[in-house]
Amino acid sequence: MRDEMSIMTEKLKRLSELEERILSCIGVGDCRNALKGPYSKPIIEISCPNREHGSGFEVHFARGRFSLARALLDGRIEPSEGLAEEVYRCTLCGSCRYVCNNCENPDFIVNARENIEDHVEIWEEMRADLVDAGVAPLPKHKEIFSHQEKEHNPYFEKHSDRLNWLPKDSLFLKPGGEYLFFVGCTSAYRLNDISRTFLDIAEQANLKISISPEEWCCGSVNFRTGVEKLGKETAQHNAETFKATGIKKIIATCAGCYRTLKIDYPKWIEDWDFEVLHSIEVIDESIQNGKIKITNKIPGIITYHDPCHLGRHAELYDAPRRVIEAIKRDEFIEMRRNRANAYCCGAGGGVKSGFPEFALEVAIERIKEAEETGAEWLTSTCPFCLGNLKDAANASGSKIKVVDLLELVKKAI
Amino acid sequence: MALYDELVNIVGNKYCTDKDYICVSYSRGIDPCLPEITPQIVLRPESTVQVAEIIKIANKYKTPILPRGGGCGLMGGSKPISEETILLDLTRMDKILDINEDTHTVTVQCGISWSRLNAVLLDKGYYTGNMGPGSGLTASIGGGLSHHSGGGGGCAKYGKCTEHCVGLEVVLGTGEIITLGSQESKFIENPFIRFAFGPDLMGIFLGDNGIMGVKTQATLNIFRRPPYYSGKTFYIEDDSYEKSQQIVLDMMKLGWSKELGIYDFFFYPPPSVMGITTDGLIESWGDIKGGVIFYVHEAFDEQVLERTSDVLEGIAKKHSTRELGPSPEEGNITDWFYAEQGHWQIYHNLFSMMGPDYFVATTEFIYPIAKYPEMLYKLDKWEEDHHEELFDADAESGVGQVYMLNHNCCYFGTGINATSDEDLKEDVIKLWKEQFEFILKEGGVLYMCGQIGSHVIIDSRVYSDEYYNFFKGVKEVTDPNHIISPGKFRF
Nearest to B24 among A77, A104, A112 (CB): A77
Are B399 and B421 members of one domain?
Answer: yes
Partners of A58 on chain B (C-beta within 8 Å) are 22, 25-26, 71, 89
Are B298 and B266 members of one domain?
Answer: yes
Q: Look up the ipTM and state it.
A: 0.93
Contact B44 A57 (CB under 8 A): yes
A209 at the B interface (CB within 8 A)?
Answer: no
Nearest to A108 among B26, B137, B336 (CB): B336
Identify the segments of chain B with pLDDT beneath 50: none
Shortest CA gap A166–chain B (Å): 47
Q: B397 lies in a domain? A: yes
What pLDDT does residue B31 have?
79
Are B120 and B168 members of one domain?
Answer: yes
Residues A216, A152: contact at Cβ < 8 Å?
Answer: yes
Query: How are beta strands B262-268 and B291-299 bridged, if at all?
Result: antiparallel
Question: pLDDT band for position A1 (50/70/90)?
Answer: very low
What pLDDT does residue A25 have?
87
Residue B171, φ and ψ in degrees, nearest 5: -95, 120
- Pick from B71, B92, B113: which residue ends a domain? B92
Partners of B29 on chain A (C-beta within 8 Å) are 27
Question: pLDDT band for position A111 (50/70/90)?
Answer: low
Shortest CA gap A352–chain B (Å): 20
Contact A38 B340 (CB under 8 A): yes
- How far from chain centre, in Å, is Cα B452? 15
- Distance, CA of A262 to CA of B141 (rounded, Å): 44
Q: If DSSP codes are grouped into helix, strand and coil, which group holds residue B231? A: strand
Q: B472 lies in a domain? A: no
- Residues with Cβ within 8 Å of residue A399, at least 6 apart in sequence: none
Contact B339 A63 (CB under 8 A): no
Are B336 and B378 members of one domain?
Answer: no
How do residues A121-171 score in pLDDT, each as one tens digit? 999 999 999 999 999 999 999 999 999 999 999 999 999 999 999 999 999
Are B61 and B132 members of one domain?
Answer: no
How do residues B179-212 score in pLDDT, each as one tens digit? 999 999 999 988 999 998 999 999 999 999 999 9
- Distance, CA of A127 to CA of A133 (rounded, Å): 10
Residues B237, B376: contact at Cβ < 8 Å?
Answer: no
Shortest CA gap A29–chain B (Å): 6
Q: Sketch out chain A's domains with CATH numbers.
A: 2-132 (no CATH), 159-285 (3.40.50.1860), 295-412 (3.40.50.1860)
Contact B44 A27 (CB under 8 A): no
How do residues A65-108 score in pLDDT, each as one tens digit? 999 999 999 999 999 999 999 999 999 999 998 888 766 677 77
| pLDDT at residue A203 tops 60 | yes
CATH code, domain with B21: 3.30.43.10
Contact A26 B25 (CB under 8 A): no
What pLDDT does residue A319 have?
98
Pick A49 or B152 by higher pLDDT. Answer: A49
First-to-last alpha carbon distance for chain B, in angstroms, is 29
Are B190 and B133 members of one domain?
Answer: yes
Shortest CA gap B116–chain A (Å): 6
**Please, where are the H alpha helices in B333-449?**
334, 348-352, 372-385, 387-392, 425-441
Beta bridge partners, B408, equal: none
Are B44 and B127 members of one domain?
Answer: no
Are B337 and B367 members of one domain?
Answer: no
Mean pLDDT over A58-66 rounds to 95
Task: Kindly state the helix (H) or strand (E) to which residue B322 belongs, with its residue range.
Answer: strand B322-323
Q: B361 lies in a domain? A: yes
Contact B225 A39 (CB under 8 A): yes
Partners of A27 on chain B (C-beta within 8 Å) are 28-30, 71-72
- Pick from B288, B319, B344: which residue ends a domain? B344
Q: B475 lies in a domain? A: no
Contact B72 A29 (CB under 8 A): yes
- Residues with Cβ within 8 Å of residue A106, at least 6 apart in sequence: none
What pLDDT does residue B275 have?
86
CATH code, domain with B385: 3.30.300
Nearest to B138 among A20, A33, A36 (CB): A33
CATH code, domain with B190: 3.30.465.10
DSSP state, B285? G
CATH code, domain with B309: 3.30.70.3450
Q: B487 lies in a domain? A: no
Give, in order, the Cα–Cα distances in Å from A202 to each of B14, B113, B348, B352. Answer: 50, 50, 51, 48
Within 13 Å, how many C-alpha atoms sit on residue B438's CB side? Answer: 21
Contact A24 B123 (CB under 8 A): no
Q: B149 lies in a domain? A: yes
- Distance, CA of A67 to CA of A300 (rounded, Å): 47
- Residues with Cβ within 8 Å of residue B474, at least 6 apart in sequence: B204, B212
Q: B249 lies in a domain? A: yes
- Pick from B63, B92, B121: which residue ends a domain? B92
Are B240 and B280 members of one domain?
Answer: yes
How do residues A150-159 score in pLDDT, each as one tens digit? 999 999 999 9
The total number of structural domains that make up chain B:
4
Are B219 and B103 members of one domain?
Answer: yes
Are B340 and B391 members of one domain?
Answer: no
33-92 in chain A: CB under 8 A from chain B:
33-40, 42-44, 55-59, 63-65, 67-68, 71, 76-77, 80, 82-83, 86
Contact B352 A76 (CB under 8 A): no
Percent of chain A with pLDDT over 90: 85
Are B317 and B353 members of one domain?
Answer: no
Q: B443 lies in a domain? A: yes
Domain span at B274: 228-344
How do residues A381-398 score in pLDDT, each as one tens digit? 999 999 999 999 999 999
